[in-house]
Amino acid sequence: MTKKNFITMILGTIGGMLFGIGMCMCMLPEWGAFNQGVGVGVVGALVLLVALLVRRRMEGKPMFVPLSLKTVGVTLLAILGALLLGIGMCLTMLWHSLVIGIVIGLLGIVALLMLIPLCKGLKD
């Protein structure tokens, strides 16, 4: 395992755990720790951002990607796909709207799958 992979793995694990615990603290009213959960979740998100910046630095790439129309479009498509998938899951599991939830969730999955050819491109 290379040094950059090891550091990314450690920072990603720590950041993911903090972010996940923070979200659980926010979403579970039994815990009564909403404000603390927001803080823990923000710390986890910051650790994940630092992991991304450290990884790019270790690969010799610039830390920040210059903004282009393609970058903005791909980011908006990723956000839209994640939101559609999440809304579909909520409709299906929480609000008992099975059919419409499945349809919206599938639209989110298709939007996320569209990211692969947009980011990597198509090759013969």
81 shares its domain with 116: yes
The pLDDT, as a whole number, for residue 123 is 83
Q: How far apart are CA 4 and CA 60, in angstroms?
A: 11
74 shares its domain with 54: no
Last residue of a domain, which of 18, 33, 58?
A: 58
What secondary structure does DSSP assign to 27-81, as a single string?
Answer: H-TTT--HHHHHHHHHHHHHHHHHHHHHHHHHTT--SSPPP-HHHHHHHHHHHHH
Total domains present in the chain: 2
Q: How far is CA 17 from the centre of its chain?
A: 13
Q: How far apart are CA 124 and CA 113, in angstroms?
A: 19
Q: Which residues of the chain have pLDDT under 50?
A: none
Other beta carbons within 10 Å of 104: 21
| pTM exceeds 0.85, yes or no | no
Q: How far apart are CA 78 and CA 88, in angstroms?
A: 15
44 shares its domain with 19: yes
Paired tokens of 54: 């450290």
Q: Which domain holds residue 54?
A: 3-58
43 shares its domain with 74: no
17 shares its domain with 43: yes
pLDDT digits (tens, 9 = 90+) for 98-122: 999 999 999 999 999 999 999 998 8
pLDDT above 90 coverage of the chain, percent: 84
54 shares its domain with 90: no
The pLDDT, as a whole number, for residue 19 is 97
Q: How many angstroms separate the Cα of 37 from the Cα of each of 29, 31, 34, 45?
A: 11, 10, 5, 12
Decide if 8 is inside a domain.
Answer: yes
Decide if 64 is inside a domain.
Answer: no
11 shares its domain with 52: yes
76 shares its domain with 116: yes
